[in-house]
């Protein structure tokens, strides 16, 4: 499986939105590529509805969603139609899933991304999430077991944190939310540490020489 910092494996795939060529078709965009175990399963249904309800929020962050399971395109279409026509969950109803869902019957994409884990299942992809940046580099990887659904708010928060770090050269502390204070990288020398501790800037403050923050 690819690791953080690796090039995201390329692929061409049939999806519910037509054929896609990754990463060529997603140049200059962030991508969340996520797998689910199977169509017509309850946990996956709640996840897809939640992702679909947040799709505009991800688009506003220059991020596209791509789903995948080891099912046929016909199963995908039937399942997505059922979601739209019959399922109501937590106030979500008539939900149309427009982001592409990959048909992966031969498990080609699943194998490239390490989504198959034999001790969990030989025939279903675990709940993997790959965050891929506009340069087609893998930036974050999340894995959930078959039995438990993902937290989409956390996935969005992590995307925002990555974008903030890239834009400002900072790190984000535990439980960071947009607007919170951020961490300035530690100084590289004793002199720089001393200067940092003695500097007086309204927008920055230090708890110790290695732990300085910038107001969000």
Q: Catalytic site residues?
A: 44
Of 107, 18, 25, which is closest to residue 10 (Cα–Cα)?
Answer: 25
Q: Coil, helix or strand for 35? A: strand
Find out whether 135 is annotated in a ligand binding site. no
Q: Which residues of 160-185 are buried (b: 16+ CB within 10 A; e: fewer)?
A: bbbbbbeeeebebeeebeeeebbbbe
Q: Coil, helix or strand for 166? A: helix
Cα–Cα dist 86/93, whole Å: 8
Cα–Cα dist 183/177, whole Å: 13
Q: Judge contact between 126 and 143, C-beta under 8 A.
A: yes
The separation between CA 199 and the C-alpha centre of its own chain, rounded to angstroms, equals: 38
Length of the chain: 216
Other Cβ atoms within 10 Å of 17 Cβ, number: 13
Start-to-end C-alpha separation, the chain: 35
Binding positions are: 127
Binding positions for substrate are: 127
């Amino acid at each position: 499986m690819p690791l953080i910092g690796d090039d995201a494996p390329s692929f061409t795939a049939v999806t519910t939105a037509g054929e896609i060529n990754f990463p060529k078709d997603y140049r200059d965009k962030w991508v969340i590529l996520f797998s689910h175990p199977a169509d017509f399963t309850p946990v996956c249904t709640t996840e897809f509805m939640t992702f679909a309800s947040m799709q505009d929020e991800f688009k506003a962050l220059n991020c596209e969603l791509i789903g995948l399971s080891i099912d046929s395109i016909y199963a995908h279409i039937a399942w997505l139609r059922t979601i739209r026509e019959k399922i109501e969950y937590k106030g979500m109803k008539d939900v149309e899933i427009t982001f592409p869902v990959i048909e992966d019957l031969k498990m080609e994409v699943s194998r490239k991304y390490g989504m198959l884990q034999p001790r969990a299942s030989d025939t279903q992809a675990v709940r993997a999430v790959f965050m891929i940046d506009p340069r087609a580099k893998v930036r974050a990887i999340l894995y959930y077991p078959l039995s438990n659904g993902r937290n989409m708010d956390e996935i969005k928060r992590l995307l925002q944190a990555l974008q903030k770090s890239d834009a400002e050269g900072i790190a984000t502390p535990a439980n960071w939310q947009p607007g919170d204070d951020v961490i300035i990288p530690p100084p590289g020398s004793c002199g720089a540490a001393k200067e940092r501790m003695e500097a007086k800037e309204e927008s920055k403050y230090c708890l110790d020489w290695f732990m300085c923050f910038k107001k969000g």
